[in-house]
A and B are shown apart, each in its own frame.
Chain A
């Protein structure tokens, strides 16, 4: 059989699993997939070695969200392998690993469920998502993308293993069963392990239409399976980007122009080059790098480099002026993002109107692992070891920096020491490759915390004005949401803009669940002089805050209890209503609290899930503290309940830090904050008790990495 055709066929079959459609592939190769020697490769996702060790190349990055374990459960459920013999790693940049679900969701404003889309639309969108090579981990989409795809991969391989055993024994496949990595023929008692069968099985034609197990037969999906990555994270053996070591490797650190839009004019490296261990001082994209034999020597060297920056056009930029500018834009020409009914008339005829302005600052991601990347450039190509959320973006940046085609780039994704959207960018990849090429040696670039904080792609600043009209009963009949903010996708994914506008500006507001008859969402896209990017929950963290805070204003003006108002507005949304009712019960809504304490509530749907939270807050010595948070989540089918709980907890803590401390301030074109002492974080002492309740559901899975964040700040505010 023609090898490439064969591989393509396998690729189509597994891709088809994501959408129920058979798609054409474009012949990407399996080169660079590092299966164990002697392991049999079934397709880009799966290899089984002679000892029966199963490797899932999941194509998604593990940044703490539990993707390896959750996706491993999906595969193993259908493959029927021994869970103890499963390992998961991120596959290379490869079209096989395109995030179809996440890509389609971007293109459809959150209506990406395969069963909700028509076949033609599904086919077109899938084609687009695939052709723009969106291999990324984000949008809380890993489980949703893998839910059918990885079970299909597992079921198909299991059928091939059975077929190989049946052939050997001269029986029919239907007579064989599998248990924990072994094919058995119950009638004769014959048994063969997956390890023994893998080589023969992987050569078989993959069957096209393998049925998946009914839900009632699941033994792994839905179970609180311990995470595969946890043990190595308790003994120092887990390898993050910063831990990559290559023979003959050099260490580098960078200084980048502190003023956004500025650039390097000149530098004097004489003092640095005289220091011990310093090998070179070089220009890299964004600034200057010192390369040395250790990180410390590079850091010390950089302190002595005299750098002159061309400050560029933004040296006068500051947050206060931006805020004024954004606010003024709300009275200017706005783009309509969504509308139902006639808001202007309804506002005029309303019994009373309520209006409020909200201002949200830029926020940094501040993942614990500072930005880093390791690269090696040789005649055969570029190897990049990088904690990245976006393999195809990293691949493109590396190819450009090396002056080679992407086919010569090998992306090795390490564990990510947090990311929250920051590592979807590839600015640091270009720096590492530039240096590795110049030095003709492997180079690891590691930013200081200060560079990390001052050269982020921040959550956009946003100013909004919400106006509601209430009827005589105090119920909102008109809702107008105006927002001025920056576009993330104008830079990250320009085709989206001409197709449908920036979804991140409207998301969380345009598709509001509340039954208000007249709604209008309008936006003003502000020029991004400060770089902006995806920040855990993206537009939802802005619009969720505006919408839920303002709904409380509406409740107060109408004299209606905030939970009761939401209850009435959700009467046609059974899933959201069930979340709210469960929350009111678990969160003791209406029960008395000690003096000086209060409760707030918020509900928000994002990334296919609905999360509602009640926060109990107190003011002590003039400072706000959060005592208890109760969260209820409907994320459809749960793959791993303990991961769901951890992600919702984590999303709440991320929101808590933003609510208590988060603010990136711009003065003279640069970020004021430098490090944790002036961009502080919640620690154990500020930690409320968090209770997470998950609604039992058989619906298609929703995301869990991000949806816990949007309701938190408005529940506290």
Chain B
């Protein structure tokens, strides 16, 4: 049994140590908001926060997470209350929406570390793939949040 702390709640899961966190979240715990995109940590669809840091969960063995606090899209806020979610809705960012869980969590990690990122900071920090091409609105929504920050 491995004990995980996900979105402030403890979960006991019976999985092998090498199981990527992605599949534990999706198939064992039932949190399907975190997406599978490539399986090789290249696209960012599986991004979650591990102790506040953006991590690609598809190649992260569950045993390496230890007691760290994991935040998935479901845990970003209750009732879509996070300022980034509000900005995402205001800027009408998502199209198909599949990459947006990862995109939002990557943005949350960036803003926590750098509340007023430049375009270059955003480019360097957020390397998630969106095939619908929502990038311009992703950038716009991040700037909206940054401008509202004290």
Contacts and interface: CB of A to CB of B under 8 A. Distances in A.
Interface string B64-98: 00000000111011001000010011001111111
Nearest to B87: A234
Given A234-B89, A236-B31, A242 B36 contact: yes
A681 B129 contact: yes
Lowest 6 CB-CB distances: which A-B pairs, in order?
A236-B33, A653-B133, A233-B97, A64-B96, A417-B98, A64-B95
Interface of A: 63-66, 226-227, 229-240, 242-243, 245, 251, 276, 294-296, 299, 366-370, 415-420, 446, 448-449, 642, 646, 649-654, 656-657, 675-677, 681-685, 687, 689-690
Contact of B97 (A226, A229, A370, A646): A229
A294 B27 contact: yes
A35 B1 CA distance: 42
A243 B32 contact: yes
Contacts of B31: 236
Centre residue among A276, A646, A684 by max chain B CB count within 10 A: A684
Given A237-B33, A418-B98, A226 B89 contact: yes
Contacts of B127: 683-685
10 contacts: A64-B132, A231-B89, A233-B94, A242-B35, A242-B36, A369-B37, A650-B132, A656-B133, A677-B42, A683-B128
Nearest to B77: A235
Contacts of B95: 64-66, 646, 650
A64 B97 contact: yes
A417 B131 CA distance: 9
A368 B34 contact: no
A247 to B, nearest CB: 12
Chain A at the B interface: SS class = loop
B26 A684 contact: no
Contact of A236 (B74, B123, B134): B74
A420 B130 CA distance: 13
A236 B72 contact: yes
Contacts of B80: 231, 234-235
B132 A418 contact: yes
B12 interface: no
A415 B96 contact: yes
Given A368-B43, A689-B136, A684 B37 contact: no
A650 B138 CA distance: 13
Centre residue among A232, A652, A676, A677 by max chain B CB count within 10 A: A676
A653 B123 CA distance: 16
B135 to A, nearest CB: 4
Nearest to B99: A368
Nearest to A238: B97
Given A229-B94, A242-B35, A295-B36, 8 more contacts: A64-B97, A234-B80, A296-B20, A368-B99, A449-B40, A676-B40, A677-B42, A683-B129
B76 to A, nearest CB: 7
A415 B26 CA distance: 17
B116 interface: no
Given A227-B92, A230-B92, A243-B32, A687 B73 contact: no
Nearest to A241: B98
B40 A675 contact: yes
A294 B23 contact: yes
B135 A687 contact: yes
Given A368-B37, A675-B42, A683-B135, A233 B27 contact: no
A629 B65 CA distance: 43
B134 A368 contact: no
Contacts of A231: 80, 89
Contact of A367 (B20, B27, B131): B131
A251 B19 CA distance: 15
A681 B131 contact: yes
A475 to B, nearest CB: 37
Given A242-B36, A685-B127, A646 B98 contact: no
A418 B77 CA distance: 26
Contacts of A245: 30, 32
A685 B20 CA distance: 28
